[in-house]
Structure 1
Amino acid sequence: MRRLVYYVATTLDGYIAAPDGGDPSGAEFFPLTPDVIAFIVEQYPETLPGPARAAMGIDGPGKVFDTVLEGRASYEIGLAAGLTDAYPHLHHLVFSTTLESQNPSVEIVRSNALDRVRELKAEEGKDLWLVGGGTLAHSLLPEIDRLILKQNRSVIGSGIPIFNGPFQSHMFHPVDETLLDSGMRVLRYDRA
């Protein structure tokens, strides 16, 4: 059975973006240092957007994921950059009750998010990558099987939390961690 994996960058204080919800990629609190880029290319090259993959000469299927799930606000970051499908190499789903279709290759899920994820998990294939945001992650929390947190050495005080919603308790146990030279720690947890 496929797993739903929340693979996301975070600050030490648990935020995935600044309060404005803008693109956190390369922000001073999420620096894209050479070791971070090398780690992503080696371990999760399919998580790079299509234009970055093309610029780096990366092609072919994903190593870990073949499907990407994201919320409307995360998707709109790509739209603002002119990308109606930032991940054309993956099956791309956007969860939104209000978004109109921007690209026929991107599936818009308007309701029953948990049911759709359960259907995807029952299909053959590689794992499902939950890219964000915090509100979608919170709504899918009962189905998240693994957390891969790229924990940066920054504290920003407020912003978009990893899980943005009302209190609910779920336990995960540590699997492993990798410390990169830049100070980013990649933490892997599986559902307990």
Structure 2
Amino acid sequence: MRKLSYLIATSIDGFIGDVDGEAEFFTKYVDEEFLAYGFAEMPEALPTFARRHFGIDDRPNRRYDTVLMGRGTYEVGLPQGLTSPYAHLKQYVVSRSIEKAPEPEVEVIAGDVAAKVRELKQQDGLDIWLCGGADLAGQLVDEIDELVIKTYPCFLGSGMPLAKAGFGIREFALEAVRSFGSGVVITTYGRE
């Protein structure tokens, strides 16, 4: 069965962006070592235009063949004309305000997203990448099978949390830790 994997960037204190969700400042910690790891281990986590830019567009998807993102995450690229940001993946946008995506390969989920995720998990294929954001992660917290948390060496003090979920102890087991010279640490947890 496929897993829902929440792959997300965060500060040391658990914020994925400023109060509006802007997170461009994390890119200052991306160095050659980190890029090489990403290209080798999860090339599908780069938007299609970035894959082309770095010359890795021909690399096969290793972990994910489907991406699930909230409206806010999807809309970040719209001003730049990125209407199909992950064309190399099956793309879903969760939104009650977008009736139809501007591209036919982007499907809008307006109903019960947890039910849709359970349906997707039953299908054949690679895992499902929960790309963001905090609201969607909060809605799907009980469906998340894996957390892949890229922690950047900065402390924000406030901002958008990792997930907007009600209090509840949800246990995960540590599966892997990978650190980089830039101070970035990728921690992988699996559902217990």
TM category (shorter chain) comes to over 0.9
- Does 148-157 or 57-66 show the bigger shift? 57-66
| 2:42 equivalent among 41, 44, 51 | 44
Structure 1 distance, partners of 2:176, 2:62, is 19
Contact 1:9 1:30 in 2 (8 A): no
Could you state the TM-score of these two structures normalised by the residue count of structure 1? 0.95
Match of residue 189 from structure 2: 189
**How far 1:60 moved relative to its partner?**
4.1
- Superposition pairs for residues 109-148 of structure 1, below 5 Å? 109-148=109-148
- Does 62-71 or 167-176 show the bigger shift? 167-176
Give structure 2 stretches of 5+ with no counterpart.
none
Match of residue 97 from structure 1: 96
- The residue type equivalent to 1:41 in the other structure is F
**How far 1:168 moved relative to its partner?**
2.5
Match of residue 11 from structure 2: 11
% identical equivalent positions? 38
- The residue type equivalent to 1:42 in the other structure is A
**How far 1:33 moved relative to its partner?**
1.9
**How far 1:61 moved relative to its partner?**
3.0
Secondary structure of residue in 1 paired with 2:16: strand
| 1:54 equivalent among 30, 52, 55 | 52
Number of aligned residue pairs: 190
Structure 2 distance, partners of 1:56, 1:96, is 31
Structure 2 distance, partners of 1:63, 1:46, is 7
Give structure 1 stretches of 5+ with no counterpart.
none
Q: Which 4+ residue blocks in structure 1 deviate beyond 3 angstroms?
A: none
1:106-136 CA distance string (max 9 Å, x none): 0100011000000000000000000100110
**How far 1:175 moved relative to its partner?**
0.6
**How far 1:28 moved relative to its partner?**
5.0
- Does 52-61 or 80-89 show the bigger shift? 52-61
Could you state the TM-score of these two structures normalised by the residue count of structure 2? 0.95
1:42-74 CA distance string (max 9 Å, x none): 110000011110111211431110000000000
Structure 1 distance, partners of 2:79, 2:159, is 20
1:131-161 CA distance string (max 9 Å, x none): 1001100101111000000011111011111
**How far 1:99 moved relative to its partner?**
1.2
Structure 2 distance, partners of 1:135, 1:48, is 22
Say what the alpha-carbon RMSD is for the aligned residues: 1.3
